[in-house]
């Protein structure tokens, strides 16, 4: 496994370099610049600001300087958040997006694996048709539709949960004042969509695994059905789900862009949208590279989990 992990880590370098290069030149193809929206700014002042940030230099010099700073781990200053570096913005905002993603992933796994396993064990029964029908509805319903629906029903009509805001940790106490009420609606909005997909994958994997000869042998030995399902069936049945976890968690983190806007959560997704709107080059680049690195690491962890669950992959 160690040579495999080392090779994958080496591949990260050209991939991240390609992403940085493509993103660097793409954001500069957009019309305008980070200071084009400023009101009543004299041209000499605008030129002085560009010179301060090095934007008056030729594009290839800006590109080379950015790569050198990137090698030192410096993502540069934000052009819109004056006096704040991109590293600081990511450090302060990403924990909120990560917390939301972890809640959503927990909801997706609990609901998805449970519903998929139950549907596979009770194939062609009401316990199969009902959760799979709900899963199909969940797949077809995007998060930007489900979010307002949950807000309307549980926030405005029933008034069970707050419809916006995100209380911070370590304020007046360890638990925020409105925790976990203000986490429920955004986490469910993100988690329900992926729970539906995980349920479909788990059902297919469990049906294939439960039809294998080793499952019949385990039952013939007199093992209880619970032990057969949990120890032998589930380990092979969730392999498709494990393969999906990397893209799913990456989708949950990146999908929080919309959710953070709907529920007014001060996460990294909102900063990314504002940076794209304001042409904040360094913040767009830093966010893209940060998410790209995160996705690559998640895919590597998924491959390691697959090898742990399936000995044949380890041999290969």
Q: What is the pLDDT of residue 259?
A: 84
What number is the average pLDDT over the span 282-294? 89
- Residue-wise pLDDT for 298-316, tens only, equals 878 877 777 766 666 555 5
Q: Which CATH class is domain 93-315?
A: mainly alpha
Element (H, E) at 153: none
Q: Tell me the chain's radius of gyration from C-alpha atoms.
A: 24
* pTM for the full predicted model: 0.78
- Separation of alpha carbons 64 and 155, rounded Å: 50
Nearest CA-CA partner of 78 in 231, 272, 216: 272
Picking from 43-47, 88-92, 166-170, which range would have the lowest pLDDT averaged per residue? 166-170
- Residue-wise pLDDT for 100-114, tens only, equals 888 998 998 899 888
Q: What is the pLDDT of residue 38?
A: 56
Is a pLDDT exceeding 80 seen at residue 212? no
Contacts of 12 (CB under 8 A, 6+ apart): 293, 296
- Residue-wise pLDDT for 255-267, tens only, equals 677 888 888 888 8
Q: What is the pLDDT of residue 87?
A: 92
- Residue-wise pLDDT for 38-70, tens only, equals 566 677 777 787 788 888 888 889 999 999 999
Structural domain spans, the chain: 93-315
What percent of the chain lies above the pLDDT cut of 90?
A: 10
Picking from 203-207, 236-240, 258-262, which range would have the lowest pLDDT averaged per residue? 236-240
- Separation of alpha carbons 128 and 124, rounded Å: 6
SS3 (DSSP) at 77: strand
What number is the average pLDDT over the span 151-163? 86
- Separation of alpha carbons 288 and 283, rounded Å: 8
């Amino acid at each position: 496994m160690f040579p495999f992990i080392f090779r994958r880590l080496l591949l990260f370098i050209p991939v991240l370099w390609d992403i940085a290069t493509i993103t660097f030149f793409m954001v500069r193809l957009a019309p305008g610049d980070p200071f084009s929206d400023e009101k009543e700014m004299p041209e000499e002042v605008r030129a002085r600001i560009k010179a301060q940030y090095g934007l008056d230099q030729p594009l290839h010099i800006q590109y080379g300087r950015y790569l050198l700073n990137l090698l030192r781990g410096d993502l540069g200053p934000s052009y819109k958040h004056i006096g704040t570096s991109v590293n600081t913005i990511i450090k302060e905002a990403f924990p909120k997006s990560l917390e939301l993603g972890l809640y959503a992933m927990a909801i997706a796994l609990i609901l998805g694996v449970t519903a998929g396993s139950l549907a596979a064990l009770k194939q062609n029964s009401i316990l199969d048709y009902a959760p799979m029908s709900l899963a199909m509805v969940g797949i077809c319903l995007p998060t930007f539709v489900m979010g307002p629906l949950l807000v309307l029903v549980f926030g405005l009509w029933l008034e069970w949960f707050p419809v916006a805001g995100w209380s911070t940790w370590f304020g007046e106490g360890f638990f925020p004042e409105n925790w976990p009420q203000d986490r429920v609606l955004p986490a469910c909005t993100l988690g329900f969509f992926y729970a539906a997909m995980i349920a479909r994958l788990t059902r297919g994997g469990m049906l294939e695994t439960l039809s294998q000869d080793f499952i019949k042998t385990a039952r013939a030995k007199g093992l209880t059905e619970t032990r057969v399902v949990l120890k032998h069936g589930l380990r092979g049945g969730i392999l498709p789900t494990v393969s999906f976890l990397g893209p799913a968690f990456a989708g949950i983190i990146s999908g929080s862009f919309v959710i953070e806007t709907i529920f007014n959560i001060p996460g990294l997704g909102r900063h990314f949208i504002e940076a794209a709107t304001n042409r904040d080059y360094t913040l767009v680049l830093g966010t893209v590279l940060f998410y790209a690195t995160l996705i690559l690491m998640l895919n590597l962890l998924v491959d390691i989990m697959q090898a742990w669950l399936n000995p044949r992959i380890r041999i290969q």
